Amino acid sequence: MIKVAIVGGTGYTGVELLRLLALHPHAQVKVITSRSEEGVRVADMYPNLRESYPNLAFTVPDADALTSCDVVFFATPHGVAHSLADEILQAGTRVIDLSADFRLEDADEWAQWYGQPHGAPHLLADAIYGLPEVNRDKIKDARLIAVPGCYPTAVQLGLLPLVEAGLADPQQIIASCASGVSGAGRGAKVGSLFCEAGENMMAYGVKGHRHLPEIKQGLSRAAGQPVELTFVPHLVPMIRGIHATLYTTVVDRSVDLQALFEQRYQNEPFVDVLPAGVFPQTRTVKGANMCRIAVQRPQNGDVVVVMSVIDNLVKGASGQAVQNMNIMFGLDENSGLTTIALIP
């Protein structure tokens, strides 16, 4: 049984980890931390988990407790994992970080986008970007996993087949994405209030969103050359889900794009390429570690439209983190992740 610790267990990604790991046949949560909720039982804060965690309580982060586990998940704001990851790794415990602390390869670029110096630049060389559909072999032997962001997961999975095949014009890529309000986290923010977000849709981060360099980094690596991207995120009045509508110019009309996508993802357990003419809906992935994708070329022209949907808290965060853990420990990749999406 894999002994698990979760640092930062009171937010949405933390409780989603608890939900998924409660169903995992080979993992058990031994430690969960929260400085603000020390002593509070998980069952009291999250009554939906009463049967799964009747006695587990939040504690203050303690290095000895964390390193007594096999793997530590960081479900924390950016910057927290910088200060703790090194000691944990030196003790031989593996780290899976759901924050943005180790996603970017360049420490200076990270500092530019996150407004503070990178706290552990010496660990960047050890960090493996945890997108299984790209880095599965590297994840197997990784000590430190940087779990991709939610928007970067949906966008990269949607564009990888085109970029890898050299079919997408690297200077003509647009990602117009919409996310539910849970992507903003559990903290109280005016923009996330029901009265503010309900019956409304708005763009944000148009001048530059923190996920932009992460997406460009991944697509550029896949393309083998720099990729330019226009990324516009939107907030929509739903709790969970991301819908990414992606546009690019194809350089060869003769390629069967439906076959290209089906072939690229035929062996991927958590990517579903929909039949031609069927478009993905966010409700078909709610609560599931699945990305559903459709590809179209309107009027048989040069512009390709790809639609990609995920649950931002599952495949976009905690589910993908568990998927990484399964790969790291040589388990069936589906372990703990067989939940079917909730409809309605």
The Cα–Cα gap between 223 and 106 comes to 19
**DSSP 8-state symbol, 57:** B
Q: Strand 127-129's sheet: what is its strand order?
A: 58-59, 27-33, 2-7, 71-74, 94-97, 144-146, 127-129
Q: How far is CA 107 from the centre of its chain?
A: 20
- Residue 176 in tokens: 């117009």
Q: How many helices (H) and strands (E) does the chain have?
A: 11, 14
Torsion sign (Cα): 150, 285, 140, 53: positive
Cα separations in angstroms, 39 against 3, 36, 56, 78:
20, 9, 9, 24
Beta strand 2-7 with 168-179: parallel, antiparallel or unpaired?
unpaired
The answer to whether 286 and 240 have CB atoms below 8 angstroms apart is yes
Return the closest-CA partner of residue 243 out of 282, 216, 285, 287: 282
Whether 291 is catalytic is no
The Cα–Cα gap between 267 and 259 comes to 14
| Element at 218 (helix H, strand E) | helix 211-223
Q: Which of 150, 177, 195, 291 is catalytic?
A: 150
Catalytic residue numbers, as ranges: 150
